[in-house]
Amino acid sequence: GLGIFNATRPAINARLIDPLNFKRYSDLAWLLDKVESIPYCDEDSSSKDLPLSCYEYAITPGDLFSKLDEWGFDSIVIPHGTTWGNHVPYNASWDNRLNPVGHDPEKQILLEIMSGHGNSEEYRDFISVQELADGTKICPEPAGNFLPGCWQAGEMMKSRCEGISDSECAARIELAKRYTIDAGPYSNMVFPEADPAEWLNANQCLDCFKPSFNYRPKQSAQYALAITNFDEIKSNRYKFGFIASTDDHTARPGTGYKQYERRKMTFAAGVRSSWFDYLYKAEDPNFPMQPSTIAGNTQPDSERNSSFSYPGGIVAVHARSRSKDDIWEALKAKRTYGTSGPRILLWFELINNAEGSIPMGSEVTMIESPIFRVKAAGSFIQKPGCPEDTLSNLSSERVNYLCSGECYHPSDERHAIKQIEVIKITPQEYKGEPVNELIHDSWKVFDCSEGQFCEITFTDEEFSRDSIYYVRAIQKATPAINGKQIYASHELNDVNINICKGSYKTNMQDDCLHPIEERAWSSPIFVNKP
């Protein structure tokens, strides 16, 4: 069966200590049994020839593209959650898939830049694990404001060295680092009895907007747009449009309209009382353990991960109408943008093209300096509760189940747009060209006097090579769930590490609100120099 179902099966055992929900656990067991009973399909058969009674699986992106071709339908492939380190290996990189096997430029045209798992936009040059030329992986030292998880594992071991020799302590520190590198998303189990706060903010992007947990910077949108494969002609650059989504898994679309009900409107998860708590025991709490990396056999870092769970983003399209065909056409043309949740309005166009203005998502070749126009409007300030038409069409029980009685309920007033930020990326022109020097974030910033609407124009007077431009419309700060992630607070002589946990260890009524500047990201405009 699917790996995710294998990882879920241990949850069934909870019915023995949660008898009031025995039927729900039994229903889950029935579902898992049914899924696992489905055999895999014959890999050598065409997708259209397969029976309905088998499970078809694409091992590689190339397999997926081929199967979509076999069906013959129009399709779009959208990578999502790309920087989320809960499932992405330490050194994962867009470089590995910029080839005909990993990328189809006709299908893979959009990229999810924001979801309930966090923001995947921003590139940073930190590394969690250093890989040498021979493939050996070693633990890098902290650099700037980035703390590698393997390094912190060594510090945690150091604090457990009381009563042992210096040489034994040093050996255990290196072992803790090695186990952390090898364990990937299960590195918290190197010290299974440790308080999550001991890991501090290891492996996190501290200056990113609503970052993904255990951030993987070479999986970011900016890095993808900056790289070039000089060994390919057709698939040599990514030319993604941007979307955002909730990635909600609970049929609650667009949950970012209000910041409330953290446990229902985000991925935050955990046991609801100490009665259900399970502590993994270490044979020796002062000696690092080598965690299993098999799903279901160990426990990922769900407590710290919950501090990086958000209501999610939303996708917008510039379509001729709301019909399915017109929305699909806009997606195919990349006339799309994403927001961090609020329904911000955003337009971005190049206005001095010889054939007239062209919208976000477009590609053009021109000699003269490009001139752009941006328009943005803040999202509507929300009123409490639900509008009358919702309450008249749904029962109070249904409204409470879906959204706890807090619907999308706009007033006539919009939030202020604080500023427009322009990001310019100049893709690599030769092998090894440093990516850091190609991503200009922010290249230009325009203040908007905190009005509800903002319109600006700008020119690139230094246009001299292929360039990619996109914009961010930034709203004035408002409280948001997990607006701060893992952070330190000081009380007298003590330093407290604050983690917004999904379990009972953080008050279930605490939405962990902190001011944040919500935003919208336009799809890029690709301007080539002849």
| Residue-range domain boundaries for the chain | 127-204+269-306
Determine the Cα–Cα distance for residues 344 and 93; give it in Å rounded to an integer.
31
User: What pLDDT, on the 0 to 100 scale, is given for residue 1?
Assistant: 42
Burial 18-41 (b: 16+ CB within 10 A, else e): eeeeeeebeebbeebeeeeeeeeb
Task: Please give the torsion angle defined by the CA atoms of residues 221, 229, 218 and 295, in that order, rounded to the nearest 10 degrees.
Answer: 100
pLDDT in tens for each of the 530 residues of the chain? 455 666 677 778 778 778 888 999 899 999 989 988 899 999 899 999 999 999 998 999 999 999 999 999 999 999 999 999 988 889 999 999 999 999 999 999 999 999 999 999 999 999 999 999 999 999 999 999 999 999 999 999 999 999 999 999 999 999 999 999 999 888 999 999 999 999 999 999 999 999 999 999 999 999 999 999 999 877 799 999 999 999 888 888 889 999 999 999 998 888 888 877 767 788 899 999 999 887 667 778 888 999 999 998 999 999 999 999 999 999 999 999 999 999 999 999 999 999 999 999 999 999 999 999 999 999 999 999 999 999 999 999 999 999 999 999 999 999 999 999 999 999 999 999 999 999 999 999 999 987 789 999 999 999 999 999 999 999 999 999 999 999 988 776 777 899 999 999 999 999 999 999 999 999 999 999 99
Nearest of 87, 197, 170, 178 to residue 129 by alpha carbon = 178
User: What pLDDT, on the 0 to 100 scale, is given for residue 413?
Assistant: 97
User: What pLDDT, on the 0 to 100 scale, is given for residue 6?
Assistant: 66
**Strand 241-244 vs strand 137-138: parallel, antiparallel, or unpaired?**
unpaired
Residue 218 · residue 342 · CB < 8 Å: no
